[in-house]
């Protein structure tokens, strides 16, 4: 059995198994949106089978993130205005909202901060993908959204070990996640990849999550992993949901070989995202 630090693989597997599965409708939506024969009606009917999810998707669609002046009142309208792929992203975001919009004390993330950080990373990743000519904008969005998902599993252990980890960071001047891995035996990137596997997400997403702090280790889709890494760093630099992860955040220059990103592109992206995050709304049931 693998045991490096406090935890062993069994502890992690068990914790990951305890996580709620994604709603059934979400899987069906993922399936339908990857089939070119799917009609708008079919998709709308599928989404509206889950009323709670539908309400959250509509709240997200009407939040400042998407910046539409008109109020979107139904799924069909959302599909017509925002398109298939955006609605698919919203369904996925709405599906993970409940597990993410909490306090994660072990990562110094007050309630809402992991969600904001994840959403801003998703938006930065999508915007970067468009600007650097990476064709799968949606995949970039999802990778950005889920990159830190491992924190929801490791949080309990982090909370107990926080002082030790922080002490190590300060004493040894090492990045937060290196201390996380040395003390717990696992870091949130690796655990996040297990979560993505449990949710049956595609391999390239599993890889992007696993390597969002170590992009040069990606073999399957280094471009996607690189976009995720840059988007995370950009989102950190904007100070959104910084938490403990931001301590000595090591930026890997490898990504610059993969993605043709310039300072201007980063600045434009930041300006865009700040605008759309300025007037944030939550998607909680009122």
Which chain residues interact with Fe ion by CB under 5 A? 148, 232
CB 104 to Fe ion: min, Å: 12
- The residue (of 55 and 247) whose beta carbon lies closer to Fe ion is 247
Across-strand partners of 104? Answer: 109
Biggest alpha carbon distance in the chain?
59
- The residue (of 58 and 259) whose beta carbon lies closer to Fe ion is 259
CB 106 to Fe ion: min, Å: 13
CB 89 to Fe ion: min, Å: 18
CB 254 to Fe ion: min, Å: 16
- Residue 218's SS3 state is coil
SS (H, E, C) 101-149: CCCEHHHCECCCHHHHHHHHHHHHHHHHHHHHCCCCHHHHHHHHHHCCC
Rounded distance, CA 48 to CA 76, Å? 10
- The residue (of 79 and 210) whose beta carbon lies closer to Fe ion is 210
Rounded distance, CA 242 to CA 239, Å? 6
Rounded distance, CA 232 to CA 148, Å? 9
Rounded distance, CA 259 to CA 133, Å? 9
Tokens for 180? 């996380």
Between CA 94 and CA 102, with CA 99 as vertex, the angle to 5 degrees is 110
267: number of CA atoms within 13 Å, CB side?
A: 3
CB 271 to Fe ion: min, Å: 21
Count of positions (residues) in the chain: 286
CB 119 to Fe ion: min, Å: 11
- The residue (of 222 and 246) whose beta carbon lies closer to Fe ion is 246
- The residue (of 113 and 232) whose beta carbon lies closer to Fe ion is 232
- The residue (of 101 and 232) whose beta carbon lies closer to Fe ion is 232
CB 188 to Fe ion: min, Å: 6
- The residue (of 50 and 148) whose beta carbon lies closer to Fe ion is 148
């Amino acid at each position: 059995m693998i045991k490096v630090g406090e935890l062993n693989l069994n502890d992690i597997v068990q914790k990951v198994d305890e996580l709620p599965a994604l709603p059934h409708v979400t899987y069906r939506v993922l399936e339908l949106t990857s089939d070119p024969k799917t009609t708008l009606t079919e998709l709308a009917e599928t989404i509206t089978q889950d009323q709670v999810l539908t309400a959250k998707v509509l709240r997200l669609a009407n939040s400042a993130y998407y910046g539409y002046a008109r109020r979107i009142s139904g799924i069909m309208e959302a599909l017509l205005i925002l398109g298939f792929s955006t609605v698919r992203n919203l369904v996925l975001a709405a599906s993970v909202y409940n597990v993410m919009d909490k306090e994660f004390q072990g990562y110094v993330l007050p309630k809402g901060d992991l969600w904001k950080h994840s959403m801003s990373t998703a938006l930065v990743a999508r915007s970067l993908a468009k600007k650097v000519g990476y064709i799968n904008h949606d995949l970039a969005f999802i990778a950005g959204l889920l990159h830190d998902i491992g924190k929801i599993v490791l949080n309990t252990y982090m909370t107990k070990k926080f002082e030790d980890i922080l002490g190590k960071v300060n004493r040894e001047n090492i990045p937060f996640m290196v201390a996380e891995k040395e003390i717990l035996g696992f870091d949130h990137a690796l655990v996040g990849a297990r979560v993505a596997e449990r949710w049956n997400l595609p391999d390239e997403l599993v890889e992007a999550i696993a390597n969002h702090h170590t992009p040069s280790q990606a073999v399957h889709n280094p471009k996607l992993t690189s976009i995720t890494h840059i988007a995370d760093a950009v989102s950190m630099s904007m100070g959104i949901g910084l938490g403990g992860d931001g301590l000595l955040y090591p930026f890997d220059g490898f990504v610059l070989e993969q993605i043709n990103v310039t300072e201007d592109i980063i600045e434009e992206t930041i300006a865009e995202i700040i605008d759309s995050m300025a007037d944030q709304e939550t998607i909680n049931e009122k």
